[in-house]
């Protein structure tokens, strides 16, 4: 049921919003050199690695680090707004459609975040698809505290339901967790 909801919701959203995405992609390309779509290897279900898509919000050549370790000066002016309102996550709808992610679940981390990957493995968090939004994000918890994040992610895994996912999606769309990005100035 969750997978069917993910596919239908993503397909409808992309169908309606693709013109807005095209305008944002053009704006990114006009503001700074480099691809408008940023790709990064992330840890998915079962610990499998996958390519995660985002709108590029940082200057080309920025180090491949977890967000909480990146310098605020790496973020472009447009990128600051895209990050603040989580618009940079929209290309992850494609990740959902191809089955690497879900709309709701633990945010995927980098393979280099070994403490977080191991904590998630021990708590069973890697048994679900990562999500575009999740319980930790809605509650303003970032990836800088691996054990706390893994515990909140495990709480989501234990209590997940379609109704709970809908509540988290609505909370995200209403701005919960917006503006907590540590990289945004």
* Residues 158-166, mean pLDDT to the nearest whole number: 95
Looking at residue 64, its pLDDT comes to: 74
* Residues 77-83, mean pLDDT to the nearest whole number: 89
Residues 134 and 67: their CA atoms lie apart, in Å, by 17
Residues 79 and 28: their CA atoms lie apart, in Å, by 8
pLDDT at 180 over 50: no
Whole-number mean pLDDT of the chain? 90
pLDDT at 110 over 70: yes
Q: How many C-beta neighbours within 10 Å does residue 65 have?
A: 14
Domain boundaries, the chain: 2-173
In 3-state terms, what secondary structure has residue 102? strand
pLDDT at 116 over 90: yes
pLDDT at 94 over 90: yes
Q: Which of 61-65, 71-75, 112-116 has the lowest mean pLDDT?
A: 61-65
Q: How many C-beta neighbours within 10 Å does residue 55 have?
A: 23
Write out the H or E segment, with its range, that includes residue 121: helix 114-123
86 or 11, which is more confident?
11
pLDDT at 81 over 60: yes
Rounded-to-10 torsion of CA 123, 127, 128, 134: 10
CB 83 within 8 A of CB 57: yes
Looking at residue 178, its pLDDT comes to: 56
Q: How many C-beta neighbours within 10 Å does residue 141 have?
A: 19
Its pTM stands at 0.88
How confident is the model over 6-24, as pLDDT tens digits?
Answer: 999 999 999 999 999 999 9
For 105, residues 6+ apart whose C-beta sits below 8 A from its C-beta are 128, 129, 130, 131, 134, 156, 160
* Residues 71-76, mean pLDDT to the nearest whole number: 82
């Amino acid at each position: 049921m969750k997978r069917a909801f993910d596919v239908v919701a993503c397909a409808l959203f992309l169908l309606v919003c693709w013109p807005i995405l095209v305008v944002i992609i053009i704006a990114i390309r006009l503001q700074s050199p480099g691809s408008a779509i940023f790709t990064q290897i992330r840890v998915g279900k079962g610990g499998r690695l996958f390519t995660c898509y985002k709108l590029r919000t940082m200057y080309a050549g920025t180090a491949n680090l977890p967000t909480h370790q990146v310098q605020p000066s790496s973020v472009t002016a447009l990128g600051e707004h895209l990050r603040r309102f989580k618009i940079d996550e929209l290309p992850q709808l494609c990740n959902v459609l191809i089955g690497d992610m879900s709309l709701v679940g633990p945010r995927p981390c980098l393979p280099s975040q070994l403490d977080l990957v191991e904590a998630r493995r021990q708590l069973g968090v890697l048994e679900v698809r990562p999500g575009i939004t999740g319980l930790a994000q809605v509650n303003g918890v970032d990836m800088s505290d691996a054990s706390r994040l893994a515990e909140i992610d495990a709480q989501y895994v234990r209590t997940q339901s379609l109704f709970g996912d809908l509540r988290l999606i609505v909370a995200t769309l209403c701005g919960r967790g917006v503006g907590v990005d540590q990289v945004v100035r």
